[in-house]
Every structure is written in structure tokens, then in C-alpha cells.
Amino acid sequence: MTPIERLALRCLSPGFTGSSAPDWVRRRAASGLGGVVLYGRNVQDLAQLTALNAALHAERPGLLVAIDEEGGDVTRLEARTGSSYPGNLALGAAGDPSLTSDVAGAIGTQLAEVGIDIDLAPVVDVNTNPQNPVIGVRSFGSDAAAVAVHSEAWITGLQGAGVAACAKHFPGHGDTSVDSHLGLPVVEEDPHVRALEPFRAAIGCGVQAIMSAHIVAPAIDVLPATISRRVMTGLLRDELGFSGLAVSDALEMRGVSDGRDVAGAAVRALVAGCDALCIGGHLAGEEVVDEIVRAVVAAVEEGRISEQRLHEAASRVDALAAWRQGRGSRTHVSNEVGIVAARRAVKSEGPVRVGNEAVVVRLEGPRSIAAGDVPWGVAASLAARGVKVTAAQDLDAPAGTSLVLVVRDLHRLPEQRQVIEGLLARRPDAILVEMGVPACRPPGAHSYIATNGSARVCAEAAADLMTR
């Protein structure tokens, strides 16, 4: 392997399938691969994950093992059960930055124990567009100042446990109505107005990494931020003064790959100022790694990217690895803080207590690609508290039986709203539980609970209210 190939490899963070590292990943790790990104598909339980990460680090101690563990709706460690920690919107609703820091510290404690080096969190986007299909409950809220305060608290808590934080999605994904997994969102508002404030706070408190967004901010550039030098160098480095690791969002996402091959997008992201390139959410094989390495080498040979720029990117990957190795596991916070935070975040109005029997109607909405297929709803939590629960898709509830209607982001689903309004007209005593952004409470919802997220602990907090 040539020196340029090794530098190119250092800038890559691919994903892979399976609960153990494939041979191709181990070989490339030993050859200088910069990192890997783990997904829910790679996690069976904590013991298996610990062994997987130990095997990866045995190939190269400086390998950066990354994962998306936001808490709330986006969890990889607890994708099979739902998270033990509320997500950002719930923490924003609780309104206590010290609690936010404690939750992040607990997440960081667990990540450090299983051998994770960098958590691709927190989301610091200001959720200014209610129709946003991909941020929503992943944001601390719609007020930039409050989001900045909680972002700083979350980063401080996580990094206090010895795990690097990665603030995302720069320069702000909150003012969008398109999921960048599926298309290219455009933010009409200049990020300087609101979106940059939490990133400034993140940089000010020493965040180790910042992830790009596959969005266009016309006030700055017509190119997607990930491949825009004006955004990733001019704005992030020169204007905001960030000197840490710039991480690309997954390069196979349609927001940046539509009309471009992944290898070409990788080269353009490096030129723009990204240092670590994430791939492998869907393209999880060795072929894409080899393709990108060849493309980067060709770009150096053709003068489209300088060897100095490649050295700079690789050195930032190494610098973060050195930071992680120097930290080890620091603070230790109990995971009991998760349910404490969820209980402080849940809000209710009207009579929300259920009887000994309840029919639970959960209305399914579009699944978030970012979150994946994670269990949600309140039926299991009610049953665990002794309620005889019948899950249903209609209103066939016997007389005297409580009716619980469960939704997620009702404000974005007009057809579901019609269904709910019809059900409430027939059963005005029904309890409506909103487990997404609580932006739409129908007039007929006299008994209402807002959990501010669909994490398992959010469901438990709602069940506590309905059974106490």
C-alpha cells in the first residue's frame, strides 16, 4: 500500500454487516483504516458489542469506533427494546441543563464501557420547521438559545465520560421539510440567523467533532454543505474557528449522492473540508472502500486534491484517537437518570388514569430512516403495570374499558388527524398520547399526554401517569 493510499484509508469510516468484524474490515484496520461506524444490525447485546470493539481495537488501537447513540428515538445499543434515555426534545421540555448533562454522561459511561470512541451525537439542529420529517424529537427544540444551552450540556456530559461527541448536522438541518436520506433539502433562512448558535456553543465547550449536513443553504452556497468548501472550510473553520474533526454524514444518502457516484462525492467532501468520511449505511462492503481509495489517489495524482490536504484530514482523525486514548473512562453516571428525566419531561392535561382494562390503538406513521425499526408505544408499559391491555386497530372497546390512542407527530399526518378526531367524537373519554412533537392537540382531546419522544422510558413515564 502506498503512502497516499494509507492516508486515504485513514479518512474512511465504513460500516459492515454482522455482529463480528469481517476479515476485510480487520485487514484494513491493521493497514490504517481510520474508523468504522456501527449500526443496530451490529449489536446483539452489550457483551457481544464489547467483544466486537475489543477485536477491532486489537487490529489497531487508534481505530475510531463510532456509533449513533442519541438516546430517545435514535438508539443502536437498545434498538431491540427502545432506549433507557429520553431524547433531546424531552430533555429540552424538562428544561434542566444539568439533567441533560447527566443523561449524556450516563450514555457516555455505557459507551465507554463497551469500547466506543466517538458518539455521532448530539443533534444540535434548531427545529424551526414543524414539518421537518427527520429532525423533530431529535432536536432540543425550536428556540436557538435554549438549544445551544442544552447542546453544550449534552456535549460536556458525554465527553466527561471519555467519549468524543459529534455535533450535527452543520450548518443546521432544522429548517427543512425533506429528509436528506431521500432527497436534497434546502434551508431558506440564512444559518447565521438561528441555526449556527448551537454550533458556536458546541465549539466553545470543546466538542471534538462536527458532522456535515446534506443540505443546501443558498445564503452561503448552491452546493450541498458536505461538498461545499464555503460551508465546511469558510464557515466552519475560518468563521467559527473549529479545529477539530469534520465528519461527513453518510455519503450514500440521496442528499449528496443523487446524481453523483459515492467515490466522487467522497473526493469532493475531502476537498471541501471533511476529514472523516462515513459510508456503509447501505453500501456496507469492501468494494466501496477500495473504490473511494482509488478515487482519492487519482484525485491527488490529477491535482484535484493536495497531498497536504489529505495529511491534514488524516492527522485530525489521529488527533481525535489520541484524545480518546488519553481520556479513558472518566465520570460514571447511573442509567437511572433516564427514567427521572423522562418523568420530568412528560406533560399531561385532563383525566388520564386508565382502569384495570384498556384498549390501546396505535396509529403507525412513516418510519424514520435515521431511527430505524425501534419498538414504540405504551401498550407494553401499561401491561407491565398490571393493566389488561388489548391492542387494536379500531374502536371495538367494550363498555367500561379505557381507550388509549397513541400517535407520533400528528401535526404532520392530516389523514391520521381525521381518524383521531373521529375516534374522539365517538369516545370523548379517550386518552390521546402524543409520542412525537406535540404540535397538534385536537380540540376533542380532553385527556392528553405528551411524552416528547417515543423512547421506552418515555412510554414508561406515560404509563406511570395512567396508572398512579
C-alpha cell at 267: 473526493
Contact 39, 77 (CB under 8 A): no
Gap between the Cα atoms of 220 and 337, Å rounded: 41
Alpha-carbon radius of gyration of the chain: 22
Residue 249 is a catalytic residue: yes
Catalytic position from the list 169, 173, 181, 411: 181
- Among 249, 275, 409, 411, the one annotated catalytic: 249
* Residue 74 to residue 435: CA distance in whole angstroms: 14
For residue 223 the three cell numbers come to 452546493
Cell triple for 312: 491534514
Q: Of 120, 28, 45, 133, give the one whose Cα is nearest residue 81.
A: 45
Cis? peptide before 192, omega within 30° of 0: no
**Could you tell me if 124 and 150 are in contact, meaning their C-beta atoms sit under 8 angstroms apart?**
no
* Rounded distance between C-alpha atoms, residue 91 and residue 453, angstroms: 10
How many degrees, rounded to 5, is the angle at CA 29 between CA 263 and CA 31?
A: 85
Q: What phi and psi, each to the nearest 5 degrees, are found at residue 391?
A: -80, 135
Complete DSSP assignment for 411-462: GG-HHHHHHHHHHHHH-TTPEEEE-S------TT--EEEE-SS--HHHHHHH
Q: Where are the beta strands (DSSP E) in 160-199?
A: 164-170
Quote the cell numbers at residue 103: 443523561
Beta strands 164-170; 209-212: pairing state? parallel
- For residue 97, give the nearest of 159, 167, 154, 164 by alpha carbon: 154
Q: Are 430 and 414 in contact (CB under 8 A)?
A: no
Number of Cβ within a 10 Å radius of residue 10: 26
Cα 122 to Cα 11: distance, rounded to the nearest angstrom: 22
Q: What are phi and psi of 284, to 5 degrees?
A: -105, 60
Q: Of the candidates 135, 228, 121, which has an alpha carbon nearest to the alpha carbon of residue 179? A: 135
Are the C-beta atoms of residues 309 and 273 closer than 8 Å to each other? no
For 392, the grid coordinates are 387494536
Q: Cβ neighbours of residue 55 under 8 Å, at least 6 residues apart? A: 20, 21, 26
Q: Which of 267, 352, 321 is closest to 8 using CA atoms?
A: 267
Give the active site residues. 181, 249
